[in-house]
Each structure stands twice: as structure tokens, then as C-alpha cells.
Amino acid sequence: MVFTDYKGLTVAEISEMRRLLKASDIEYRVVKNTLARIAAEETPVAVAKDRFVGPVGIAIGYDDPVLVAKKVLEYAKQNETFEVKDGVIEGKLVDLDELKSVATLPSRDVQLAMLAGAMAAPMSKMASLLQATIQRFGYALNALKEKKGQ
């Protein structure tokens, strides 16, 4: 979840941003502060209850926190009046600098692929070593056969 200040944006600009975020399965909502504080109670967002002051827009991503930070910060670069305040990632309040560092990380899918590759590497190395041992044994048997045949 990323908190933003949308003050100064036109309705068309907010609609455009919503379309861009929706393409990545991210919702953008303008919230009433009182209702947001009540809804945040007893949730991981409770750490940010004091952030609901003034005009607040919230970008909500359900799968990949890296993607949310990346997309919102990309839009903020394009539009000078759009301000990113801070956010909540995995129940922890993060400031703008931490959001920027999270946005530089690879996406969740890439991280999972890297993890799978790191876990598979020792197994594939073991398989190739076992295969090499079997090949050497086969070459030794073949050499023995040729030697006995002469």
C-alpha cells in the first residue's frame, strides 16, 4: 500500500493513473480519512493510521509490493504535482526512501525464479557428477572389453 497526495491533479490525470495501475492489478482509491482510520484498526495498516490527514490517495497491490512501489513512483516521475508520501509493506511503515529502494528490486516473479534457480543448481550439479561417474564406468568397461578382445 502506497500513500499519495493527489492535490493538484485533474480528474483526467487521476483516471489515467488509475488505468495505468489497473493494468498491473493495482487499485488506486481516494479515501475519506475518518473511514480509513476506522478500517485500518486491527489490520496490518494500523501502523499508518496517523497518515490519513489531508487529501490521501492509496495505491493498493495484493500480490507484489515491488510492483506497486515501482508503478506509483514511475507515475510520480511523469507528473510533478503527484506526490508519493510513504507506504506500508508487509505490515511495516516505510518512508519514501525505502519505497524507492524497494522499487529497484526485481519483481516477485523474477525473485521466485532466482530462488528456484539457486535451489536447483546443487541438484543439477549432483546429477551431472553422477552422470559423469557412470560414463567413466562405461568407458572403463569398453576399454576392458577391447583389451580382452585382442
Rounded Cα distance, 9 and 5, in Å: 9
pLDDT attached to residue 6: 84
Q: What is the pLDDT along the chain (150 residues), one digit of tens a residue?
A: 899 888 888 888 888 888 888 988 899 988 888 888 888 888 888 777 788 888 888 998 888 888 888 888 888 888 888 888 888 888 888 888 888 888 888 777 787 888 888 888 888 888 887 888 888 888 888 888 888 876
Rounded Cα distance, 102 and 72, in Å: 12
Question: What does the CA dihedral 44, 49, 54, 55 come to, rounded to 10 degrees?
Answer: 10
Which strands, in side-by-side order, build the sheet including 2-5? 26-30, 57-61, 2-5, 83-89, 92-94
pLDDT attached to residue 150: 64
What global pTM score does this model have?
0.68
Residue from 107, 113, 116, 82 nearest 24 by CA: 107
| Topology annotation, domain 2-105 | Alpha-Beta Plaits (3.30.70)
Rounded Cα distance, 20 and 23, in Å: 5
Q: What is the 3-state secondary structure (H, E, C) of 23-35?
A: CCCEEEEECCHHH
- For the chain, give every domain's residue range: 2-105, 106-150
Strand 92-94 vs strand 26-30: parallel, antiparallel, or unpaired? unpaired
pLDDT attached to residue 99: 86
